[in-house]
Amino acid sequence: MKAVVLNEYGGPEVLRYSEAPEPQIGANDVLVRVRACALNHLDLWLRNGLPTQPLKFPHILGSDIAGEIAKIGPGVTNVRPGDRVLLAPGVSCGQCEQCIAGKDNFCTQYTLFGSGAPGGYAEFVRSPAVNAIPIPGALSFEQAAAVPLVFLTAWHMLLARAGLRPAEEVLVIGAGSGVGSAAIQIAKAAGARVIAASTSEAKLARARELGADEVVTSRGDFARDVKRLTSGRGVDVVFEHVGQATWEQSIYSLARGGRLVTCGATTGREGNLNIGYLFGRQLSILGSFMGAKSELIDLLELFKRGVLKPVIDCVVPLEKAVEAHRRLEKQEQFGKVVLSVA
């Protein structure tokens, strides 16, 4: 099969469009003919090298995958060849206490396609059958690939971790990213008032189109702008994933008893924290990682109803993955950069 293969760490130029062996499936696996695969910042980090997640070369990136079932193992009953599916991006053991409880993203063996398992920058990918979910409604393959990782992450952050309630106020940092654009929609669907933050005026305009009630520029002392927009109170929830560059101001944007939930640190992992301010205002800081398959199934129902919509920045052919990585690296995108596989 054709695939974009990584044989060493480095810049976008280390991605090679070449031949690779077609995956072999087991009894409870499916072989998916990939039609689209969306990029995530994780792809950039893995390509550059993460000490905590060393790769075994050759490696194929790509966590967000949509396509058609090409083959099924003898133990598979939930899908058939020809079915249009997207893949739940997280792979777990399926047998431990957390998996049995429906909290597969807490499994100690949990990994992602494109990270601990070969990903979707290829014509074919092997997947556990349990990860194959019918594409909802009339979504195209490109639209379906733009959904799983970012919407599942945002859903878990806002609803499961932060416990967002109707009529609360939410500050979404990095509103132009895939996960940020998902968070705006999910928070609005939950009945919240949304303030979107970005360094780009063009991205703030797009955030308003997605439903943001107010926008702020996330440079300097943006907590003052947030307080101004909330009559001096601050927001109930801050949706964070930018990290070091926005961390302090994000905390200062919280109302008393507010919750900051974070899933990433694209600008750095070190953040100052005034401990007295934390306990004096009774704030909560919550970490979040991915979400359970059951949450993905729930949110896909809202795509079927038209409440949520994928946000695609551009679609690039698989063989031009280098260009796609460069666009994501420059943070030029609004929404998801998607690779199409012919």
287-296: pLDDT as tens digits: 999 999 999 9
DSSP reduced 3-state for 152: helix
pLDDT at 103: 96
299 part of a folded domain:
no
Overall pTM surpassing 0.85 (yes/no): yes
Do 136 and 253 lie in one domain? The reply is no
At 304 the three-state DSSP class reads helix
For the stretch 263-284, pLDDT in tens is 999 898 898 899 999 999 999 9
Residue 300 lies in a domain: no
Report if residue 296 sits inside a domain. no
Q: Residues 118, 227: one domain?
A: no
Alpha carbon dihedral 269, 337, 108, 4, in 10-degree steps, equals: -110
Nearest to residue 342, comparing CAs of 142, 185, 196? 142
Domain presence at residue 21: yes
For 170-198, what is the mean pLDDT? 97
Q: Looking at the structure, do residues 158 and 236 belong to the same domain, yes or no?
A: yes
User: What is the structure's pLDDT at 331?
Assistant: 87
If one counts the domains in the chain, the total is: 2
Q: Kindly report, residue by residue over 41-98, the tens digit of the pLDDT.
A: 999 999 999 988 899 999 999 999 999 999 999 999 999 999 999 999 999 999 999 9
With respect to residue 177, please indicate whether it lies within any of the assigned structural domains: yes
Within a domain: residue 163? yes
Residue 181's alpha-carbon distances to 3, 134, 186, 194, in angstroms, are 29, 23, 9, 11
Do 85 and 162 belong to one domain? Answer: no
Question: Is there a single domain that holds both residue 80 and residue 157?
Answer: no
> 3-class secondary structure for 205-257?
HHHHHHCCCEEEECCCCHHHHHHHHCCCCCEEEEEECCCCCCHHHHHHCEEEE
Same domain, 143 and 279: no
Is residue 306 assigned to a domain? Answer: no
The CA distance from 250 to 172, in Å, is 10
Residue 217 is part of which domain span? Answer: 151-287
Whether residue 211 is found in the same domain as residue 336: no
**Pair 96, 223 in one domain:** no
The pair of three-digit structure tokens given for residue 108, joined into one six-digit string:
């100690």
* Whether residues 221 and 130 fall in one domain: no
What's 229's domain CATH number? 3.90.180.10
Name which of 55-69, 110-124, 328-342 the model is least confident about.
Answer: 328-342
State whether 142 and 264 are in the same domain: no
The reply to whether 87 and 17 lie within a common domain is yes
**pLDDT of the residue at 54:** 93
63 and 171 assigned to the same domain: no
Evaluate whether residue 234 is within a structural domain.
yes
